[in-house]
Structure 1
Amino acid sequence: MATMDVMRGPGMDRLSNGAKQAASHPWAKKLGRMGYAAKGAVYAIIGVLALKLAAGEGGRTTDSHGAVDTVARGPFGMVLLSVLVVGLLGFVTWRFAQAFADTEEKGSDGKGLATRAMYFLSGAIYASLALFAAKMVVGASQGRGRGTQGWTATLMEQPFGQVLVALVGVGILGFAVKQFHKAWKGKFLEKLTLTGLAGRQRHWVERVSRFGIAARGVVFAVIGIFLVRSAVDANPGEAKGLGEALAVLARQPAGDVLLGIVAAGLVAYAAYMVLQARYRRL
């Protein structure tokens, strides 16, 4: 109760009101749309590379950092990467608006605060990716960091570290289940303004979006399972990130088919992000 009182105190109210005013500015919404498009571009690169691998035409499994590196190494790499940085910062801005200004009207009860905390975490993750990309633009030397296995090892070194890693894994599994539920129920369509589209077009928007969201759920389920397994075995080396999760799928029986389906789903998710950029009510 004390925590809720603090959250509803005068200082928090002023912060919330200021954030709402900033979020209502037309440029904030433009940044949000740019952000969804940038996120879509990242997933499109990951999905296309995995599709090419599944089809035996080169390609590889990679994560968001690998997608940024792919952009940097391509034609007009630094120009496109600069545009991507701006877009990613737009997504970060909008995620923080969702968290602090409550643009999604989630409220301040336990469930609402948990959802808004997830928005903040998402914003922080993409802020890190934007920083990684920005450093590449300015030519700052940098490594890829320690990745999933690195932060898993760090977390496991803490008191009750295995429990903490297991909780993170369970949380990611919960997120995966939420993605499956989201794809099944289709409530995401309520946030899209599709009145200008013909019935056939709306039908394809729904199908592509459901497929993409479900495929993302599969990837996060694999990540969550391996994090829990890592905690049980006290072995950080078993933890997997997005690219490694795709590689796990590729190693299964009929892995090229399985990887191809999930990779196509990630491309579909990228299309869903572009639809969000175009049609989402902000």
Structure 2
Amino acid sequence: MMNVSSISSHIPSTQPQWVKRFASFGLAAKGVVYCLVGILAFMAAFEIGGRSEQNLTKQGVFRFILEQPFGQALLALVATGLVCYALWRLTQAFLDNERKGTDAKGIGRRAGYAFSGLVYASLAFASWRMVLGNPGNQGGGDTRQTLVRELLQKPFGQWLVGLIGLGIIAIGVYQIYRALSGKYLKNVQTATIKAELKEMIIRSGKIGYIARGIVWGLIGYLFIKAALAANASQAGGSSHAFAFLEKASYGSFLLGAVALGLFCYGIFMFVRARYEVINTR
């Protein structure tokens, strides 16, 4: 069986500038998406502009961009950036630019890069379909519910859905760990950031990763609820997580706080686009 090393040996070596430009453009596009998710979630939390947390998916963000003046061109830029981000993650996975190696830990990290690349490739595909006038499937939560519904019909389906939920929660916990441990700054050249901005930027990254971890954790929790109830409708994506927060005590304030955190995460993606060390070989 061909392993990751043998696959990467058959792929032409990367051109450093190609990788750096794609990574920076991709991170900036990701920043745009998360800033808009944060803004729209905050508006939904306090019922500003008639916004609802029910439509706060990344596809909802794409529709929002499309509705703006020159929206088609703007969405095309974001979609192109998401393609760049996906390609950068896939080069990290298969070309091992980060030198993670082929031991169990390294393969795990590279698998994570590949997963991220595939997720953002699907988002890029969805956004390009909208640019070209074909909205396709507009419900990320519905896609997850379809997956859960199909799994629940399989032998040990509830266990499978529950394990997926635990895995999603683990991703959320890792995001929070990265924030609290400072690992989110590992490849960012903070020494080159202006002193008057550095503290604010570092804090925005920490808050952003914690907020993102909370959202991942809530999505995982909803998967576990769906598994325990054998009810696919209880699973969902970010919009369902936001709705869950909104229904809690002081829900508007909780959702508003998470929304500000996601906005901070988006801002930190711009910082990464500008100051991150991009390994190319």
Aligned-residue sequence identity (percent) comes to 35
Give the partner amino acid of 1:177: V
How far, CA to CA, are the matches of 2:71 and 2:195 in structure 1? 39
Match of 1:80 in 2: 74
Match of 2:207 in 1: 211
How far, CA to CA, are the matches of 1:95 and 1:159 in structure 2? 34
Offset, 1:8: 6.6
Offset, 1:134: 0.9
Match of 2:120 in 1: 126
Match of 1:43 in 2: 34
How far, CA to CA, are the matches of 1:125 and 1:95 in structure 2? 10
How far, CA to CA, are the matches of 1:193 and 1:199 in structure 2? 12
Is 1:60 aligned with 2:56?
Answer: no
Match of 1:168 in 2: 164
Aligned match for 1:102, one of 86, 91, 96: 96
Aligned match for 2:187, one of 188, 191, 211: 191
How far, CA to CA, are the matches of 2:154 and 2:40 in structure 1? 36
Aligned match for 2:238, one of 232, 242, 245: 242
Aligned match for 1:262, one of 258, 262, 265: 258
Aligned residues of 2:22 and 2:85 also touching (Cα < 8 A): yes
How far, CA to CA, are the matches of 1:141 and 1:52 in structure 2? 24
How far, CA to CA, are the matches of 2:118 and 2:240 in structure 1? 22
Aligned match for 2:274, one of 257, 260, 278: 278
Aligned residues of 2:8 and 2:94 also touching (Cα < 8 A): no
How far, CA to CA, are the matches of 1:222 and 1:131 in structure 2? 26
Give the partner amino acid of 2:40: L
Secondary structure of 2:96's aligned partner: coil
CA offsets 1:187-217 (integer angstroms, 9 cap, x no match): 2212011222233322111111000000000
Secondary structure of 2:100's aligned partner: coil
Is 1:135 aligned with 2:126?
Answer: no
Give the partner amino acid of 1:14: S
Using CA pairs under 8 Å that are at least 6 residues apart, name the structure with larger relative contact order, 1 or 2: 2
Match of 1:147 in 2: 143
CA offsets 1:116-170 (integer angstroms, 9 cap, x no match): 1111111111111111111111223523253221121122223322221111111
How far, CA to CA, are the matches of 1:198 and 1:83 in structure 2? 29
Aligned match for 1:29, one of 6, 11, 20: 20
RMSD: 1.7
Is 1:222 aligned with 2:213?
Answer: no
Consecutive aligned runs of 4 or more in structure 1 exceeding 4 Å deviation: none
Give the partner amino acid of 1:259: L
How far, CA to CA, are the matches of 1:13 and 1:132 in structure 2? 28
Tell me the TM-score normalized by structure 2. Answer: 0.92
How far, CA to CA, are the matches of 2:8 and 2:267 in structure 1? 37
Is 1:14 aligned with 2:6?
Answer: no
Relative distance call for 1:34 and 1:8 in structure 2 (3 A) is closer
- Name structure 2 gaps, 5 residues minimum: none
Deviates more, 1:142-151 or 1:251-260: 142-151
Is 1:233 aligned with 2:229?
Answer: yes
Match of 1:157 in 2: 153
Give the partner amino acid of 1:55: F
How far, CA to CA, are the matches of 1:210 and 1:150 in structure 2? 34
Secondary structure of 1:153's aligned partner: helix
CA offsets 1:15-39 (integer angstroms, 9 cap, x no match): 3xx35x22x4312210111111111
Offset, 1:52: 1.2
How far, CA to CA, are the matches of 2:47 and 2:195 in structure 1? 37
